[in-house]
Amino acid sequence: MKSLSLILCIGVSGLLLACGGQESAVQDNPQYLTGLAFDAQPVAGAPVLAKCRRGSGSATTQADGKFSIAVRQLELPCMLELSIDNGKQKLHALSMQGEAVNITDLTELLATRVLRSELSDFFAHFNPDAISKGVTLSSITAAEEDVKSALHNVLKLSMLSDFHHISPSQQVPDLEAYNDEPKTVTYADKLGAMKRGLGTVQFSQISTLMRQEVALQKLNLNIDALLLTAGKQKWEAANLQNYHYSYGYRCFCGLVDVTVVVRNGRITEAYTRLKHVPVDRGINDKNIRTIQSLFDFADQAYVRQAVFVGFSFDTQYGYLKNINVNYVADIADDEIGIDVFDFGID
């Protein structure tokens, strides 16, 4: 696995740098911090500033999101700040060793988790000693794992390593629905879907939690609550009263595979998906749900203090695409999974 550096596109050319508290070589000729800024698309024409333990510089991203910053007497670590939309949004990253990394929303969260600070303020009042003490390989590794864990319900990052260096075009696992073939999407598309699903307010709230919550379990629970609320708000804003969808309900008792038709917010039909046999709602009522009642199911899992609640939601309409619940640790027959597919508006 590559040596980890805190998230931002930085590459240093033509200079051998020492790490781990050793002094870096200092030269009068400028060294170059290079990088790539992107979400779903490259971030073009945006100013990037760099402040290092020694030296500073600036540049503007090119059409493909790349940048190259000349820094004289460069000494790592460095912190970079990308300004988007005339400074309305700012993203940050850090580097210990100077190799190329990405500037993305995830690098912002990773930097926040490492420094436990509001990053714009930290950058404005940059303290070389503070960044040297706070940015270590161990702190970066721990922060990366925290970000992966906290965003498990919106990004499938657990199988990725060193994701702040990954190419935007690399294929990565997608959150697939039940009965679908395994899917992959580009890393850039995954970041774009995250941005569409969360919105500016939720992303800011997640960043605040990354900064304030020390305990990982509490961080995960609070972020899960934000994500579930984000999906619910999208669904309520869509105000869809006539729709149909299918879902698989998985539990120790077996599998229920049902298609549900909703008219004016109420279930009018329910039948087995493959054989189109009507379902006896009197017997199986708990397994026949509207989209709203799927949100209620997820809410109740938190009320019951389930040890694990996993879910993902559609970034356009907000409906839950899947829910996985494990109520009690070390008990094999209490897990429940619900996978939504074939959603359509009528």
Among 196, 192, 226, residue whose Cα is nearest residue 209: 226
pLDDT at 280: 65
pLDDT at 9: 37
Q: What is the mean pLDDT of the chain?
A: 83
Residue 277 forms part of a structural domain: yes
Among 121, 164, 170, 159, residue whose Cα is nearest residue 140: 164
pTM beyond 0.85: the answer is no
| One domain, residues 271 and 162 | no
**Proportion of the chain above pLDDT 70, given as a percent:** 83
Q: With beta carbons less than 8 A apart as the criterion, state whether 98 and 11 touch.
A: yes
Q: With beta carbons less than 8 A apart as the criterion, state whether 146 and 218 touch.
A: no
Task: Determine the structural domain holding residue 141 and report its residue range.
Answer: 1-212
| One domain, residues 254 and 182 | no
Give the chain's length: 346
> Per-residue pLDDT tens for 189-212?
888 888 877 888 888 999 999 999
- Counting the structural domains of the chain, the total is 2
| One domain, residues 245 and 149 | no
> Per-residue pLDDT tens for 262-307?
999 999 988 887 767 777 654 455 668 899 999 999 999 988 888 8
Mean pLDDT of 68-74: 94
Give yes or no for residue 55 having a pLDDT over 90. yes
74-105: b (≥16 Cβ within 10 Å) or e? bbbbbbbbbbbeeeebbbbbbbbbbbbbbbbb
